[in-house]
Amino acid sequence: MYKKMSDKEAVIIGAGWSGLACAVTLAHHGYKVYLLESARQVGGRARKVNFKRFLANQTIDNGQHIMLGAYHATISLFKLIGIKENEFLERHPLELNMYSPENSLIKLKAPSLPAPLHLLLAFSKMKGLNFTARFKIIKMALNLAIIRYQLKQDMSVGELLKNYSQPQEVIAALWEPLCLATMNTPIKYASAQVFLNVLKDSFSKKNTDSDLLFFRHNLSNIFCLPATEFITRHGGQVLCEEKVLGFECSSQNKVLEFIVKTSKHQFKCHNLVIATPAHITDRLLQNINNQPLINKRLANKQKLLKPAHASLHYKYEPICTIYLQYPTSTQLPGRMVGLFNTTAQWAIDRSLTNQPGLIAVIISGPGKHTQMPDKLLANTVHQELCLCISDLPEVLHYQVITEKKATFSCVVNIEYKRPYNDTNIQGLFLAGDYTNTHYPATLEGAIRSGQTAAEKIIARNSFSHFTL
């Protein structure tokens, strides 16, 4: 049996943050949405999971997530669905405390001054670096502001840092950790332009844009469940364990119709959003591959710059989160500490999520750690924390979560490869962190993409009503 739909209805495949954002935006504009998710729960890569080895009802996140003050689309969507910032997020003015096994501590703290002064002052007062190093950071920051964070030609972050003569210790203690944290891609091949897009948004507008935002609850309770409630309250349906197997499109009275087939149902619709990761989107589009997916704007750009097609074929980078449970009295010296010249990169104190003694250690990007057995990896990062910060008690329990395809690899010239939300097929839209958001794979990128796909549907339908 088909579920047949009107123009004010839409089917969205995939209930990650981009699919949820798309569904919420459409529901808010009076659309009835059907959000189809193959997994048992919504949230995709940003969802809660059980902490298997500890308490039966203890939940952790699929990977430790952090947000920036510059994530405006995410913060306003939270507001729309009734999430109160103070209740759900803890905001800290930018502060980085970077520890290394050589006992060096590099500290950066942004004062409460207007941007970008706050940052220039923070760089000039950075502890643990000599005058020349601080001067070179400030010079680079000023030069980037002069060129408005826009490169004539993309290059790797490594090349950019070399062009601005950044000393090795500054790269190791500041730029490399920041690049990995924001782009999950090593500096030697990460896109400098995408990195600058993030720096521009975080550093050059309002001083609160560089704030670090920590979650007070797990990711599902923060966003996925309230978003689901919002959608259903507005007449939509969120269907889990509803794997989409494929879809077809046909023309009825000159209007394209899509028939979406899941393991349980079939849906007929005029508005279809595919909000699955790029490699799955590619598979779902195989039936209609005779139609060029990319839109003209992108094709033109590519002719000028690169022969490659806008593509759904990306390399991926892993993220590893190691949860270490210590006795409940154990605390880190701050909500988040950075480590450099170590396997571990960041450690977050989960006491904020009401999990005292639980430390989440993050390792972004590739490395030898991906080959280590869980026990060895947990022990390695524990030893590093002891060496860099202070002696910690024995680990009581641990859990290692490795997401092999955590994010697309944000390589040089990636911007010319990423598809826009609209396609050459009328009524078919794409959403997901990999689309052309100008951001790396982030929650903000996913939310922006989902909202843009929704706005395109709304614009298309208002236009067709207008012309009738």
Ligand X SMILES: Cc1cc2nc3c(=O)[nH]c(=O)nc-3n(C[C@H](O)[C@H](O)[C@H](O)COP(=O)(O)OP(=O)(O)OC[C@H]3O[C@@H](n4cnc5c(N)ncnc54)[C@H](O)[C@@H]3O)c2cc1C
Complex with ligand X: residue 128 or 246, whichever CB lies closer:
246
Q: Which of residues 415-434 bind ligand X (CB under 6 A)?
A: 432-433
Who contacts 208 (Cβ-Cβ below 8 Å, separation ≥6)? 69, 91, 93
Complex with ligand X: residue 13 or 358, whichever CB lies closer:
13
Complex with ligand X: residue 14 or 226, whichever CB lies closer:
14
Complex with ligand X: residue 227 or 441, whichever CB lies closer:
441
Q: What angle do CA 353, 355, 358 make, to 5 degrees?
A: 115
Q: Which helix (H) or strand (E) holds 238?
A: strand 237-239
* Binder of ligand X out of 12, 14, 137, 399 (CB under 6 A): 14
In the complex, least distance from residue 167 CB atom to ligand X, rounded to whole angstroms? 27
Give 3-state DSSP helix, strand, coil % of the chain, rounded to 5.
35, 25, 40
For the beta sheet containing 32-36, the strands, ordered from the edge strand earlier in sequence to the opposite edge, are 237-239, 32-36, 9-13, 272-274, 428-430
Cis peptide before 167 (omega within 30 of 0): no
Please report whether residue 277 would count as binding ligand X according to CB under 6 A. yes
The stretch among 15-23, 140-148, 210-218, 249-257 that binds ligand X (CB under 6 A) is 15-23
- Secondary structure string (H, E, C) spanning 353-394: HCCCCEEEEEEECCCHHHHCCHHHHHHHHHHHHHHHCCCCCC
Please report whether residue 441 would count as binding ligand X according to CB under 6 A. yes
Please report whether residue 236 would count as binding ligand X according to CB under 6 A. no
Coil/strand/helix, residue 213: strand
Residues 43, 219 contacting (CB under 8 angstroms): yes
* Binder of ligand X out of 319, 324, 377, 392 (CB under 6 A): 319
* Binder of ligand X out of 179, 190, 198, 244 (CB under 6 A): 244
User: Shortest CA distance to 115 belongs to which of 177, 192, 199?
Assistant: 199
In the complex, least distance from residue 432 CB atom to ligand X, rounded to whole angstroms? 4
Q: Which of residues 61-80 bind ligand X (CB under 6 A)?
A: 63, 65-67
Q: Which two tokens stand for residue 86?
A: 């103070």
Complex with ligand X: residue 137 or 431, whichever CB lies closer:
431
* Binder of ligand X out of 10, 11, 12, 15 (CB under 6 A): 15
Complex with ligand X: residue 88 or 164, whichever CB lies closer:
88
Footprint of ligand X (CB under 6 A): 13-19, 36-39, 44-46, 63, 65-67, 243-244, 275-277, 280, 319, 321, 403, 406-407, 432-433, 441-446
